[in-house]
Amino acid sequence: MAHGGGQVPVYCSLCEESTRIEWKCLNCDMLMCDKCKEKIHVKFKFAKDHKVVSIEEVGLHKDEIDFSNISCNKHPVQSCVMFCKSCVYLVCPLCISETHDGHGLVTIKKGYEILIGKLKTRGKNMGTNINKLEKRKEEVKDVDRTELSKFENTMKKIKDQNVRLKKEVDQHTKKLETELIKKWEDLHRCTETEEKEVSLLIESLASKKLEVDDIIQSNDGKIVFVDGVGLVQSMEETVTSPDTKFDSIPIFLPGQITLYNFGSLENVSTKGDIKIIKQFDTKISHVYFMAACSEDTVWITDCKILQKVKIEGRSLKIIDQKDIETYGMALTPSKNLLLVMEGPRLKQISGQTGEMTDSLYEVKGLDETSTVHVNSDGKVTVGAYSGKVVYPAIGRRVVIVMDKDGKHETTYEYDRHGNPIFTYVRNITRTKNGNICVVDKLSEDYRARVVILSEDGDVLNTFSGHPEVNTDKIHFKPKCVFTTSSDNIIVSSTSSYIYFLNNSGNYIGYCDTSIKGIMYPRSFCSTETGHTYVGCATRSDDKAKIYEVDLL
């Protein structure tokens, strides 16, 4: 038989002595001498059903792989005659009788084909894993490049702030730069570490794949069974990518250029996005103000009609309605509804009786209230003014904080330089850290800005829209400000854009809600358990919609 360019004598597969081959069992794929055919093979299980033909009928193909010289590992003097699929093992006649009788035995040639198939499959899987790891390696590089860009942009913003504040903020700038550099170095160290780990995995797999390829191409049965079996078993292990969770480089959120708030490095807790959960149809054209008095009961108004509605499934049931003009409202912890109406005193609707009376909250010395907000601790914050609403303002424009008994605690009117802060206080919210966020209307055409004050009265920040949305032709016209459960601020406008700020008034992002299916969002409210509702306006006689949403 031809083998490796030389002639190797062919022995009987059973006795391994006689070279006078007379027969071949097609089922066992064994060559036999005449004696073994008559004395040994007939004792094999189901031998009577095997097809044994003379060697002249089949011939010996010169390229046929020689399986006759593979010694049994357990019985070295015996040659392997079968392959046990159950044990993935070559077996000799003694192995069969001692251990493997009744197992899934096939010919050595068939076992060879099974192993080659497994090796090819493992090789293919290795290739797939290499591709996955290469992809992950590129993802890690992308993270590195993206975060480097964020790092550079953030560093630039920090330096820009530093230039504007000059020497007064050098110490703070150094602190932020050091913190940012450390965050970058930590992240970069992580990306480098994972890149090295992935590279080592790729090298290891590539090395094993070369071994697999060599075995597959060797055309040597002994190598396949000796080396291939071990490789098949070792390759059963699952290759797991490190898949490190990288801490993103924080962005720099600049504050107003003052000594009180230079800015800070923050990992923003919101994506600046919104998702609809449910939709409800109202019986009014606009929902300019909202207040949630329970999990399923909400006050809404279009400034002329005030309704108390109950959420029933996906419908709203009107349980109370009053034809009164109101320019703002807020709910106290005792569930009484405070209303901004004409005059210096807020009105109140009892949560128990539904009766409307004068409240304890009055802005003495001023003509009108313009908006109201109630904290969870019961403190009431109002906007108020004297004189007429004109632009520029003539008369006083103030924000007043009162305790739950109506006593004035703090009045905000002037900045540290003695200049009036406000033109017309249109809407107010407060954050958990005590900051006051005010929509300050600046002109008759509703152009406005958002002013953020500290409890001490310092102007921490002002927000006048975003250049990607607001231009000389598309003015920033904020309507409502609302504090989320995560203590961020949402600003609605006359358009379908809403803006996200952190609790210091630093910009986070914006969202065009019309893409989500929410047209002209105006008002927000939330329940004690965190359900958030958005009230909308319309540009026609259609009825307004309310949405339950998730803020992302």
pLDDT, residue 5, reads 40
**DSSP 3-state assignment of 310?**
strand
pLDDT, residue 3, reads 39
pLDDT, residue 6, reads 44
Q: CA torsion, points 321, 325, 330, 332, in degrees to nearest 10?
A: -60
| Phi then psi dihedrals of residue 381, to 5 deg | -115, 125
pLDDT, residue 65, reads 74
Strand locations in 315-396 (E): 315-322, 329-331, 337-339, 345-349, 356-362, 368-374, 380-385
Q: Are 437 and 427 in contact (CB under 8 A)?
A: no
Whole-angstrom distance, CA of residue 65 vs CA of residue 5: 13
User: Residue 526 has which token pair?
Assistant: 């939330």
Q: Are 123 and 102 in contact (CB under 8 A)?
A: no
- pTM for the structure as a whole: 0.58
Show pLDDT as tens, one digit a residue, over the chain (552 residues): 433 344 456 778 887 776 688 888 888 878 888 888 888 888 887 788 888 888 777 654 444 677 877 889 889 888 898 899 889 889 988 898 888 888 888 988 888 888 888 888 898 888 889 889 999 999 899 889 888 988 998 888 888 877 877 777 677 778 888 899 999 999 998 899 888 988 988 888 888 888 888 888 877 777 778 777 777 766 666 667 777 777 888 888 766 555 445 666 766 556 678 899 999 999 999 999 999 998 899 999 999 999 999 999 888 999 999 999 999 999 999 999 999 999 999 999 999 999 999 999 999 999 999 999 999 899 999 999 999 999 999 999 999 999 999 999 999 999 888 899 999 999 999 999 899 999 999 999 999 999 999 998 989 899 999 989 998 889 999 999 999 988 999 999 999 999 999 988 988 889 999 999 999 999 999 988 889 999 999 987 789 999 999 887
**DSSP 3-state assignment of 75?**
coil
User: Residue 309 has which token pair?
Assistant: 């509605």
Number of H helices, E strands in the chain: 7, 34
Which class for 319: exposed (0-12), middle (13-18), buried (19 or more C-beta within 10 A)? exposed
Residue 432 CA to its chain's centroid (Å): 26
Q: Are 384 and 361 in contact (CB under 8 A)?
A: no
| Phi then psi dihedrals of residue 318, to 5 deg | -75, 120
Q: Are 348 and 359 in contact (CB under 8 A)?
A: yes
| Phi then psi dihedrals of residue 38, to 5 deg | -85, -30
User: Residue 83 has which token pair?
Assistant: 């392959």
Q: Are 463 and 514 in contact (CB under 8 A)?
A: no
3-state secondary structure 102-166: CCCEECHHHHHHHHHHHHHHHHHHHHHHHHHHHHHHHHHHHHHHHHHHHHHHHHHHHHHHHHHHH
Whole-angstrom distance, CA of residue 214 vs CA of residue 233: 17
pLDDT, residue 260, reads 47
